[in-house]
Structure 1
């Protein structure tokens, strides 16, 4: 037996005999190919494609909804590294921690626009996205408080209080005779 050729009935299981090549285009199907998949109804195939696309959109929407969590971890680490003293770096980090969630909350509809579909309900993803951004906003407010930039003590409001009424008067230098 020559190398690469198989005798009918004897030989390797997946061997293909190329010695009987005819000029016609009627080639046998490759091993493992099934024509039954081609004969499926087009509506079934299109429905499966739509279901697969809806599942993909839902999965991507969940990824977008959970993306602010990664930002929370990074921002928390950066705030920790900035310390609790008021200087340019800590103010910049705090401003960024406040601005990013606010701008993300303003654009919730635009963020989930590519994933809109009749078969995909995006309410849960939007709520998770909003909740994580609110946590990020709370983290920024907490950092403002640790820096002492929030007016949380009564002494912060002294300038807006009216002056206390005078209870007692004193005078001096005028002799009584």
Structure 2
């Protein structure tokens, strides 16, 4: 090899001239080497991305169902706490009952935010949302039942006496005079 000729000599068959810095040439202008096909890479990439998207949508669907079933655990715990609180009106039982009413109400107000991370065009969220709503309504019913057992719901006529008109007198009795 002659001194100063370098790798890019005139007679080199595999030499590539990298000195062309024109911006108009792109990687598509360079021919593919023998045995290489860009189409196979694109197909592999698309199948990999499709598999990743399918796996992600399956994961989102599974997590949405887990989130939808979470109120059931809370329902069992709250039922046990209400049973332990007893049926007398005192601070602990009122606090437990208030908590049993407040948690489902606040959860029902935020159904959209709860399932926001799982929104996807391939994930059906109607079923998990309906289960979530049903379980929270069950928790709300449990709280209303506890209010009833504590006697704090107006379910008897005597609870409404103050709003009833006074009863009409039907009998009159008079002094102790008898006429025989």
Is the TM value for this pair above 0.5? yes
* Offset, 1:172: 5.8
Structural mapping, 1:40-119, within 5 Å: 41-119=44-122
Q: Is 2:151 the partner of 1:148?
A: yes
For structure 1, which runs of at least 5 residues remain unmatched after alignment?
1-37
For structure 2, which runs of at least 5 residues remain unmatched after alignment?
1-39
- Point out the structure with max Rg over C-alpha: 2
2:141 pairs, out of 138, 143, 161, with 138
TM-score of the superposition, structure 1-length normalised? 0.73
RMSD over aligned CA atoms reads 1.9
Which whole-Å CA distance do the structure 2 matches of 1:41 and 1:168 have between them?
98
Which whole-Å CA distance do the structure 1 matches of 2:160 and 2:175 have between them?
35
Q: How many residues align?
A: 137
* Offset, 1:154: 1.1
TM-score of the superposition, structure 2-length normalised? 0.72
Which whole-Å CA distance do the structure 1 matches of 2:169 and 2:87 have between them?
40
